[in-house]
Amino acid sequence: MLKPNSTAVTEFLFEGFSSFGWQHRLVLFVVFLILYLMLSISETCYTVAIIPHMLYGHLNPYQPIAIQGCATQLFFYLTFGINNCFLLTAMGFDHYVAICKPLRYSMIMGKEACVQLASGSLEIGLCMATVQVTSVFGLPFCDDFVISHFFCDVRPLLKLACTDTTVNEIINFVVSVCVLVLPMGLVFISYVLIISTILKIASTEGRKKAFATCASHLTVVIIHYGCASIIYLKPKSQSSLGQDRLISVTYTVITPLLNPVVYSLRNKEVKDALYKAMGQKPLSS
């Protein structure tokens, strides 16, 4: 039920970076556009739900988004964001098998296992996103329609709802624990086992190579999970939308930029696979 003398909201307006001057917004537009063009393909689906509208917002900060468009953006953002969380976990498991069980790697991480891990990550993302979007957009919105963010996210939207959101906050917290704490725990266990195995390697060169294999992935894991945890797991009383907005830039724009490092072509085996895929002679031949 709407509050007395209130007006039902049918569209939202992003506050984004509208407080910045035109010159600063233009600089941000150019910087984020360049970063976006450098993103790896694996993050495209995740960022395409956010970055294009954000870029447009730098040029035209007072362009509203329909409530249906906001729900669509949130759905795809959550789907692929959660998908990435579990893909990073799968990569941690892949590194664990490669370093701790190298002789069984091809048997454990075969094509079937890789397909199951990838499809499972996407399915979890779809299910969790559906729960979140249904929860948020089942609420009434009235009067206030300015989102204190640069994209449609759960907490900024809940603050605009003109009804009690306690149940929705609980749902958001439970989902956040499932998609952040659980994967983080699995990655942590993987790296404890990986590091203990690496330290047993007699060769210094072998230890360096093993650490180098995991360093870039671990960097992305720390930034991605760390920033997301600060936003979604901290108590509502300590929530600051202005701070959350800046942190969100890190894991929606900066973290994907690191993926070219994670999926680096410095690895000889990866280079050989790329040459084969292109129908050229592998370097190892």
8 sits in the region (left: phi over 0; alpha: psi -120 to 50; else beta) called beta
For residue 127, the model assigns a pLDDT of 94
Strand partners, 258: none
For residue 174, the model assigns a pLDDT of 92
For residue 265, the model assigns a pLDDT of 46
In the chain, which stretches have pLDDT less than 70?
A: 1-3, 16-17, 28, 31-46, 61, 213, 236-242, 251, 253-285
Contact indicator for 87, 224 with CB cutoff of 8 Å:
no
Residues 6+ apart with CB under 8 A from 68: none
For residue 234, the model assigns a pLDDT of 76
Contact indicator for 153, 114 with CB cutoff of 8 Å:
no
Contact indicator for 50, 248 with CB cutoff of 8 Å:
no
Contact indicator for 152, 50 with CB cutoff of 8 Å:
no
Which three-class secondary structure state does DSSP give residue 66? strand
For residue 64, the model assigns a pLDDT of 81
For residue 39, the model assigns a pLDDT of 47
